[in-house]
Every structure is written in structure tokens, then in C-alpha cells.
Structure 1
């Protein structure tokens, strides 16, 4: 599926979940769909023309996403429990991406993380034990991509599942001949369009220890959640219509060029897993926005510019 200039495309059944794999020696990631399906590259998209119904407001509305009555019902919510300073400061100490934010954005992130902890259940699996400070850290990392988008990015799901380490999932794919293929993957993250977000705690910690390497599984999976908000996980999040058309055109051009480089064996500096599908290109590029923004700007300047507009400036890379 190409990058969408319109948010009306239906979600492909083969991509109900996006996974972040630990089995690929080159990139530590494999696609959700069967290898044969992943080989096809989408054709370039020509942004579709849209008509305005008048009033001058259509181009300012998110395509495919209309908030319901949430704002009218906010007063019915019980107040979230504030994050204690001790736990917030611990999260800042452990995550360079959080320390690199200015005071205003850090305060905004704390508000979002407070809402996250109020609305989501964090479920450790097996013998994993998470402390209160660990939950605050996970909430803050999940909310990094939402500092400009806002708390609407938390809608549509209610649970964060955390495994001690990489975990196994069963995948299936029906090929064009009607043959069902089933296989197991060892993954470090997974995001269902309307289900839980799942992470490997060991990999979260490993990436925190190397914050400049271009990897952040939490951001990667949260971006899939954002991507799915308009009804299609296609590499284009809910955006004002005019910007969505620009995004689709620029991302498609950059994606096609990137795929050609990967197919030719060219070293791009960006994880080649980004070539698997438009939604993975968006998610991987977002990881680099937060953890290696200079590399992203050099390799994919048009993409980097859109992500700066969407997420705000990347954190200053403090130690």
C-alpha cells in the first residue's frame, strides 16, 4: 500500500499488527507480512484532488479523523494522579531523549505521561517486575511522539504489555494461490491497530544505554498507533488535508529512492528495514528523528523536515 493522500483506504488484513523483530541479523527487524508479499514496492502516488465545501476550513481539518464528543465529556473524567517528582526525575536521569527537551516541552510531556498512566494498564509478563518509576519512564517514552499531536494520539487502545525480553509471535499469510503460510518470529515490539502495544523491556533498556544509535522501539510502535488513527496503517498519520498531500508525495518519493538504494546494496546510513513498507519507513524514520536527527536530515532531508513539523524539534542530544 502506498503512502495515502486520502485516509479512506481500508486496512489490509495482513497488516493488522506491525512487529519489530529480533531475528534479522542485519537490522534486528522483520516485516509482519510474508517475505513474498514484502518484496513488492508500491507505485508512486499522485495526490488526489479534493474539493472544498466552502467556508475555508476543509484544508485545516485532519483527513479521515474527526474527534467525537471527547472535549465535551472531559469534565466527567476523574483527575489523573500527578507523577511524583522523584519518579519523573528518575525518568529524566535514565533517558537522554527526555533530558534533551527544553522546559516547556518537558512539562508538556509530563502532562501527557500523566494522562497515559491514568488511561493505560501496564502489564508485565512472566517474572518481570516493574516499579512505579519504570511505568513513568515507559509512559514518557510512549508520549514522546505526541508532544505536538496531543493526547488524542492515545485513543483507541488501553494496554501496554511488557515482556522481559524478545518474545515469539505466530504470523500467517495467505498467498495469491490460496496457500496459507504460517511461521514464528522473535520480536522486540508489536503494535495492533486497535489492540495492545507490546514491548521487550530488555530492548527498551538497551536502547536507552545507546541513545544516539537510531533505535527506539517504543517510538517505533507508538508511531504505528498514530499511523492507524485515520483507519489505515499506511505511513501517513492524520494531518490537515493540504499537508497530507504534501506528506504523501514527499514520503513516496523518498521511500522509492530509499528502496532502490537498498535493493542495489547501497549503504544509506538508515536501517534497511525501513524499505519493508511505507508504514515501516515512517516508523523507522521517526526513531531517527528522536535518536539520530542529523543522520536522518542528511539521508532523507524531505522526510526529516516533515517530521520536525509533526513532532517538533528533536531533543538536544545530551549525554
Structure 2
């Protein structure tokens, strides 16, 4: 009886024609070899089985577009595996950039409030949120150094150990190496940005260690050669964590 119930909960495979059509729109997926393509297809089947994909407002998403979104969210999981899907259940998709209300009480007790315009967000124990227009822009120019879906999934991987600090769950010895390399390169990068020097990597990466990891993840997938030039130690760690970039 329990075995039957387990089988009933298995995700249905992605149909061949749907996979072909969605893959044709996602350059990163097109660049994968056969074994990694098969692994991505299994992850996508699980994603669409487990996650609710919720378009907002007048946005409507067909099966091909939902499969595209799942592909992009699963690309960073090719080596880490389906465990990377743990802890959240919804992908919210806005038609375009969206506004969020922020507030902060400073050391003097003064409340500051403002509006941020975002193209993606990942809540610690909640949904991933993406701008559909920016997802499409990433797919149209996949080597430009941007991939908002990979950025937000990096945050989800980072948070799996309960701490959003730029270090995903890793074996102990590797975690020490990762922390050493990332801290040293991050500190140097922050110094470059603070001094006003032009950087090869988007200066937003200097905002916090978790943003450094997420931005570096975007470059791993969209411009790995530039990441190797700018930060060879970080490029090596991400290649080990994510596997080789689809773009070499």
C-alpha cells in the first residue's frame, strides 16, 4: 500500500515535445551534454510536480514557459541535486520588475521606509519571485553576465544550512576551503568597490557575502571566462559546486 502511494506521488516525465520546445528557448539547456540534459529533465519534472508557479496580474504562462522557468531554476542543481528544492513551494512570476516596501530602524531608533524595485527575490522560508521580462532578457542575451533565476536559486541553496552567509551546505573540509577563498576575495572586492575602482564583476556583489555568492553564480553560468579572469579561486569553487558552466 505504501509503495503504491509512493509511486503515485512520483513526478510525471516531461513530454518529449514540451522538453524540445522549452529547451529551444533556454540557451543554457541547449549547451548541456546528453547526460546533464537528462539530469536536468528529471529535476524539472520534480520541480513542476512540487512547486506552484503563480503568474501575477495579467501575466499568463503556458506549459512551455513554465517548463522554461523550471529549467532555469534547476540549472544550479545539476550537481547538488533535488535536495536544493527543499524548504519552499512556490515560484511567483511578475510580468516585469516589481516594487517592495522596505523598512529599517537605525541605531537612534528612527524608522526609515522606502520602496525597492526588484527583478528577483528569494525569501528565507518562502517563495522565489522572478520578473518574467528579465528572465526573457537573460535568455535573449545569455552571455551578458546575468541570470536572475540562478541568482535567486543561489540564495535558496545558501539558506539551506539555516544561515544566509554566502556558504551553501558543504562537507566540512570543503566548507573551510570555501569560506577561506570567498572571504579573502570578497574582502578584496569590497575594497576595490569602496575605492571607486572599476571592477570586471558587477559591484552589487560587494553588498554582502550572500550577494557576492549569488552574483558570482550568475557569472558562472553566463560569463565563466570573465569570472575566471577576475576571480580564479571563486570560479574554481563554483565549477566544483555547480559542475562546468554550459558555456565552458
TM-score by length of 2: 0.96
Q: How does 1:96-135 map to 2 (within 5 A)?
A: 96-135=27-66
| Counterpart position of 1:138 | 69
**CA deviation after TM superposition for structure 1 residue 93, in Å:** 1.0
Task: Provide Cα deviations, 1:276-300, integer angstroms capped at 9, x if missing partner.
Answer: 0000000000000000000000001
User: How many residues in Structure 1 have an aligned counterpart in Structure 2?
Assistant: 245
Report how far residue 193 of structure 1 moved.
0.8
| Aligned pairs (5 A) from 1:3-14 | none
- Separation in structure 2 between the aligned mates of residue 258 and residue 177 of structure 1, nearest angstrom: 30
Residue 117 of structure 2 aligns to a residue whose secondary structure is: strand
Aligned to 1:286: 217
1:235 aligns with 2:166: yes
Distance 1:298 1:188 in 2: 27
- Point out where structure 2 has 5 or more consecutive residues left out of the alignment: none
- Number of the residue aligned with 2:17: 86
Tell me what 1:147 maps to.
78
Render the CA deviation track for 1:19-78: whole Å, top value 9, x for unaligned: xxxxxxxxxxxxxxxxxxxxxxxxxxxxxxxxxxxxxxxxxxxxxxxxxxxxx9x93661
Q: How does 1:179-194 map to 2 (within 5 A)?
A: 179-194=110-125
> Who is 2:87 aligned against?
156
* SS across alignment from 1:283: helix
- Which of 213, 222, 231 is matched with 2:144 structurally? 213
Deviations, residues 177-235 of structure 1 (Å, cap 9, x unaligned) = 22221111111111001101000000100111110000000000011000000000000
Question: Which string of whole-angstrom CA distances, capped at 9 and with x for unpartnered residues, describes residues 157-196 of structure 1?
Answer: 1000000001110011121122221111111111001101
1: CA distance between counterparts of 2:19 and 2:202? Answer: 31
Gaps of 5+ in 1: 1-71
- For 2:10 and 2:244, the matched residues in 1 are separated by 30
- 1:314 maps onto 2:236 in alignment: no
Where 1:145 maps in the other structure, the secondary structure is helix
1: CA distance, partners of 2:21 / 2:112: 45
Greater length-normalized contact order (CA 8 Å, ≥ 6 residues apart):
1
The aligned counterpart of 1:197 is: 128
> In the aligned structure 1, how far is the partner of 2:53 from the partner of 2:44?
13
Equivalent pair of 2:54/2:93 in contact (CA under 8 Å):
yes
Q: 1:77 to 1:173 in 2, by over 3 A?
A: farther
Matched, 1:75 2:6: yes
Using structure 1 for the length normalisation, give the TM-score.
0.75
Q: Distance in 2 between matches of 1:226 and 1:173?
A: 26
Alpha-carbon separation, structure 2, partners of 1:156 and 1:253: 30
SS of residue paired to 1:108:
helix
3-state DSSP of counterpart to 2:92:
strand
Kept in 1: contact 2:122–2:155 (CA 8 A): yes
Find the counterpart in structure 2 of residue 46 from structure 1: none
